[in-house]
Amino acid sequence: MKYTVISCAVIVALAALFSSTFTVSEREYAVVTQFGKPTRTISTSGFNWKRPLFLETVNRIDRRIHTFTTQPIQLLLGDKNPIVLTSYVCWRVRSPLLFFQSLINKDIARQKLGDMVNSQLGSVLGDFALSNIINTTPEQVKLAVIEDRILKNTNSRSQDKYGIEIVQVGIRRIAYPAIVADAVYNRMRSEREKEAMKYRAEGREEATKIKAKADREVTEILAEAYKKAQVLKGEGDRQALKVYSNAYGKDREFFEFTKSMDVYKDILGEKSTIVLSTDSDLFRYLNNPKGKKQK
């Protein structure tokens, strides 16, 4: 009996000793509470003591950076254009005691911070137009300015009210409402069709220029070729006349004979009919073997 009591006492003592110790890691804070009331905050990592069992409770709070995405919200810009935005928020706990007293856990923190950011979006975007959100000219886009203003406005409030530091706020997605998106797409389609018609017209104009240039070059080439051909033909005719003249001067009778033979070959073909006088000088070699002219 005595040993049983001693054993139970040892077990209770060990349990009390074990429940009186806890360790805080580098990635968390610890808020020690006594019956729900905070008694101290531990911000450094290491081994710590507390009252045993249920007399004190250790509440651990993650000190790392957390990220979440806000719910999409439809807002009006300064030029009265509606737009749907989704943002992302990066945050961490700076004051663990204030965070524990005001929010308790991360889910409530995300909800509160999301409401704060969306509220600031509506306030800040009223100073900007659609061209400052969506624009093909980078200098006109002011998203960085908008994000910086939202960060400054929300960060001061979140630290004072919830003990949270907002590290970064950014616009994650930009969209149009459905009714506006259809109108925008139709306008974009019309603009693209107009631009396509412009490019086609410019293409046809360029094609006409190229074709006209090619036709002109063809005409010039053909004219130059015809000119050279006529020159060569004239040169050939000149040389042929020279040859004929030389041949005629060397043997007039033989020249006349060969020319007559060529004429006979041309006109006296198969199934040819020629009606001429027999006294014609053309047939002198047919009527007279010596080729003497008829008197």
How confident is the model over 202-240, as pLDDT tens digits? 999 999 999 999 999 999 999 999 999 998 998 888 888
As a whole number of angstroms, the distance between CA 143 and CA 171 comes to 8
CA distances from 182 to 77, 132, 179, 186, 191 (A): 19, 21, 6, 6, 14
Please say whether the beta carbons of 144 and 93 come within 8 A: no
Q: For residue 171, list its beta bridge partners.
A: 87
Q: What is the pLDDT of residue 295?
A: 47
CA 275 distance to own-chain centroid: 88
Please say whether the beta carbons of 93 and 101 come within 8 A: no
Delineate the domains of the chain, giving CATH numbers in brackets.
Answer: 2-62 (no CATH), 66-175 (3.30.479.30), 251-295 (no CATH)
Residue 214 structure tokens:
């090619």
Q: For residue 264, list its beta bridge partners.
A: none
**pLDDT (tens place) for every residue of the chain, 295 residues total:** 666 766 666 665 666 666 788 899 999 999 999 988 999 999 998 888 888 877 889 999 999 999 999 999 988 888 888 889 999 999 999 999 999 999 878 899 999 999 999 999 988 998 999 889 888 888 999 999 999 999 999 998 999 999 999 999 999 998 877 766 676 677 888 888 999 999 999 999 999 999 999 999 999 999 999 999 998 998 888 888 787 777 767 766 766 677 777 777 766 666 667 666 666 666 666 656 555 554 4
Tokens 């530091």 belong to which residue? 165
- pTM of the complete model: 0.58
